[in-house]
Amino acid sequence: MRGTRPSAGAAARRPRGAQDAGEEPGAAACDLQRGTSNMSFEELLELESQVGTKTYKRLVVANSTKKQRSRPSVQSTCVADKHRPLEMSAKIQVPFLRQVVPICKKVARDPRFDDLSGEYNPEVFDKTYQFLDDIRAKEKQLVKKQLKKHRSGEEHEKLQQLLQRMEQQEMAQQERKRLQELHLVLKQERRAQAQHGHRPYFLKKSEQRQLALAEKFKELRRRRKLESFLNRKRRRNAGKDKRHLPLSKE
């Protein structure tokens, strides 16, 4: 009995790569492996329902393995991480000149000595951070109040040392401002001399120190602390001279 020929509609509905009745199983499997990559999702579902899930998975796995084998080989030199050194293959001779991966190092930047922060101008700095003087004054008053509450003990000593350090910092800041004012006056005098046609005279460092010391003595005399300052200076100099004296042989 002659078999009936499949209609054109059935052939169109059949997915590409499906096995025909007269084809051999090995050839059909090869055709399926070649054709699964070009099938749509609906055709893949229909193929799975026809050949079975087990056979379908085997065909798909064989097709994916074949793709992986057909990919080009990975280069012998590869970097998994940009901060990791290069991995060189042992089968290839290492070249004399090779590319070295630079290591990013964190460089500490001090704004006091960096050109990116600009030049240091004491006058501009004092005007910009003038609000810190009010904060220091409030902190000093707070320390004095705490010192009145703790009349004795370890806390009293800590507060006393803190208050003394704050006073010393305040005196050093006042001394620095006074020297800045003195340098500003000298600069204005040199400008006035240059405007009148005179050659400006620049003081030496020793002369600037003498002028600063004279201004300091004037300030101490005004505050009536010159005698105590001179007495401390004499005792300090006497102690220094005593160290250089020869020891008595007794």
- Tens of pLDDT along 28-59? 555 555 566 677 778 878 877 887 887 777 77
Alpha carbons 202 and 194: distance in angstroms, whole number: 12
Q: How many structural domains is the chain composed of?
A: 1
Cβ–Cβ < 8 Å for 219, 178: yes
Dihedral over Cα of 133, 138, 139, 141: its sign:
positive
Is 123 part of any domain?
A: no
Is 46 part of any domain?
A: no
Is 28 part of any domain?
A: no
Element (H, E) at 60: helix 53-70
Rounded to 10 deg, the angle between the 53-70 and 41-51 helix axes is 130
Q: What is the pLDDT of residues 160-180, one digit of tens each?
A: 999 999 999 998 888 888 888
What's the domain range around 222? 204-244
Is 212 part of any domain?
A: yes
Alpha carbons 52 and 59: distance in angstroms, whole number: 11
Is 47 part of any domain?
A: no
SS3 of 78, please?
strand
Is 166 part of any domain?
A: no
Alpha carbons 16 and 148: distance in angstroms, whole number: 98
Q: What is the pLDDT of residues 191-235, one digit of tens each?
A: 888 888 888 778 888 888 888 888 888 888 888 888 888 898 888
Is 52 part of any domain?
A: no
Is 227 part of any domain?
A: yes
